[in-house]
Copies of this chain bind each other. A is one copy, B any other.
Amino acid sequence: MAKKPGKSSGERASARKRIFDTAADLFYRKGIRAVGVETIAAGADSTKMGLYRSFPSKDELVAEWLRDHDIRFWQQWDQMASRYPEDPRRQLNAAFRLLAKHVADPQARGCAMANAAVEITEKDHPARKVIETHKAKLRARLAELCVGSGARQPQLLADHLFLLMEGAQVAAITLGVRGPARNVAPAAESLIEAHLSRRRD
Interface residues of A (CB under 8 A from B): 29-31, 33-34, 109-110, 113-115, 117-119, 121, 131-132, 135-136, 139, 156, 158-160, 162-171, 173-175, 179-184, 186-187, 190-191, 193-195
Docked CA distance A167–B174 (Å):
13
Which of A110, A139, A163, A181 is the most central at the interface, judged by chain B CB atoms within 10 Å of its CB?
Answer: A163
Q: Which of B118, B163, B165, B193 contacts A187 (CB 8 A)?
A: B163
- The answer to whether A34 and B33 touch (CB under 8 A), given A160-B190, A191-B187, is yes
Contacts of A118 on B, CB cut-off 8 Å? 31, 110, 114-115, 118-119, 170, 173
Contacts of A33 on B, CB cut-off 8 Å? 31, 33-34, 119
**Smallest CB–CB gap between A116 and chain B, Å?**
9
Contacts of A184 on B, CB cut-off 8 Å? 163
Docked CA distance A122–B153 (Å):
43
